[in-house]
Amino acid sequence: MKDFPEFMKNKSNHISSKEQNTEDIDGYFYEGADGSQMAFWTCYSDRFSKKHTHEFDEYMVCVSGQYTAVLNDEEFVLNPGDELFISKGTEQWGKCIAGTRTIHAFGGKRIRRVEK
């Protein structure tokens, strides 16, 4: 597959650019009853994300392309199928190449829904 299925990209679940740590990527999210969230991102060109931390744990998997995660200045190169666990409070940023798709699970509320 070269893209996430259309049913996963419902516009009511689209992640606002204001909620992104990386410019010019496309993402969608879902919320669990416990407040946890999952996000699905597609990077259409080579990009870098801003340094940031979360107040909850994060799990990510690279679906396609390549994502380099930098956690506390240590690099982890993720290729398709590679997974990474990021403990809460860890300073992180990353870079992706065009065509990269990732799935993230957050142990808390990472994304705020934009009301229309």
Is 41 in a helix, a strand, or coil?
Answer: strand
Q: Domain boundaries in the chain?
A: 24-106
**Percentage of the chain exceeding pLDDT 90:** 80
Starting from the edge strand earliest in sequence, which strands make up the sheet with 83-86, in order?
Answer: 25-31, 37-43, 100-106, 58-64, 83-86
Q: What is the pLDDT of residues 38-84, one digit of tens each?
A: 999 999 999 999 999 999 999 999 999 999 999 999 999 999 999 99
Name the superfamily (CATH) of residues 24-106.
Jelly Rolls (2.60.120.10)
- What's the pTM value of the predicted model, to 2 decimals? 0.90
Decide if pLDDT at 6 tops 90: yes
Decide if pLDDT at 115 tops 70: no
In this prediction, residue 116 has a pLDDT band, given cuts at 50, 70 and 90, of low
Is 76 in a helix, a strand, or coil?
Answer: strand
- The pLDDT value recorded for residue 20 is 73
